[in-house]
Chain A
């Protein structure tokens, strides 16, 4: 999970890393803070500045309108649900520090540079990055950093060493996947402070990371996907509020592929979903939940349910689907149920005997055709 900047900075601050004073705002309200200050949209993607998500507030009279403006934005498909007001940082130079994995070699990679900023991804800037790999443990990582310092200007060595001494332990303690400080402001006189911070944590480690778990539980609206996964054990990502196709699907890869193919064919999937039939254990509540979500999409016109029963049994799944459908009476869209694999014949029989008008199809291509045709028809009905 990508932490929002505000929470990343709170984590850094607890670890003794200096960050500008800031406050999180989740609704349009008049906030008391020091002015002038910056207002920054809290979304888990870059490019906030260009999208108008980072604005300066000069005095108290501008607070409300600035926050309202930022909270009304959608940045790279992420609706802005929170904003951080942050104290200004005095004149400083920008450096760069990051810790990440090298997934291929299984090592930790430390990257530092005397220059940072928004252009860090450019080839010229990347060429200037100093990097070292280390075995995934604290001591080798700290030693690897030392090998890089002689290549830096003397004035930068102290700050980098201080930053590393705090971030490397944090990386292991919180089981981070990425910590990137960019820019790291180097102040005249040798001080330093974090400008922006990106921390990617490991959802799989949440069972043994109580603080990160508590953060998600406190802010389910800001981390909806992680909150769902934590509370209910499956994935659902709303992709397009205006989407016309709802998906009730299992398997991350197949669900992603279906989203891609529906877009290729000129439609807009409302969501991504990996419902994990293996976790049903005879209980239809997860199906009911997902059917309610997709049917409530304001523009959803047809629903595709897709189940490839490789290790499950369709004859056990279909009765659950029938119960789930009864429990979502508000559902008005046509549904195509694509199912294939173990127990198909028995499942078909159960469905036919139920008299439910849901359309069953065993071929995926025909199922997609049918759903898109239903969506089209709805448009002209």
Chain B
């Protein structure tokens, strides 16, 4: 936090009536009820004219205590909570959690489950970036792109619905695999999306990446230099916009990302335009990954056959006493990972996302700590905003892309 500027003091109503005007900055409260704070972010901003001298984010309006609650749920039940944090890129949270839990359990996830996880997470990443683009440009006053991106996102949500049964808080991944196999229409639906989406991307590009007003509004705005970005712990597309090619799908591959060919777009500018551009170019890479994963999608089981983790199939219950016992144990108290800790860093649409799990050998995690990208990226807001204009602040919030559920947990 910067120093309190000298000479600041709030003028009371009485002082104003006395005509006691004094040299001071205008302190304005933005949020939690404001059209462009992307949820319930609250910012206290000091303005000199329209230039920002000081900005301090106040968070916690959406605090739900997810981490603590998770300590009182079995490992499979925790999944209900993970996807409610970042409701825009839900699958990333589910994936990060199950990867961490699987590391504790040393589970072997079947290949088909891995591929489906990758496809869904990448499609969800596209959906998340679509929300980012639509609302980001809406924050600059252009209304229409929002409706276009929502139209494409709708297509994705339909796919998710056909796979998981819900449109938002999926809870489809399980420790050791998936809840069930994907429906038959899945491949066809995804291919239809893959065929149509690149054209839409081109349309978006002409609508705003080549729009002079948009370029002027974002070029050179909210610059976060490379060194400062690293100091502030920025991750994800916002970091890559500052010139650091850090992507955990490349750096520490998980879920078989090492098998797919894709690029990590980076830019040296570090401004709002670069942050827009990164996400925009990333969507094309997502399409590439999805296409490759879909090509290699072979029929097969979607759950670890290990009876310690997965429920035995229904047919075995009638013939095998052992299966009944496993079933009973799993349903009544869940599984018991060995004592230990685990953390798997994954790349969500917003940056580094990981679940730090501590197991004391019981059926519930002893401690859960979530490394959420939104919260840590939000620290850079001050860096980007101070010295800029009030109108730029909105652009900076949009391009840092915080999801308040992710920030407040």
Answer yes or no: are A and B bound together in one complex: no
Which residue numbers of A lie inside 8 Å of B, CB to CB? none
Which residue numbers of B lie inside 8 Å of A, CB to CB? none
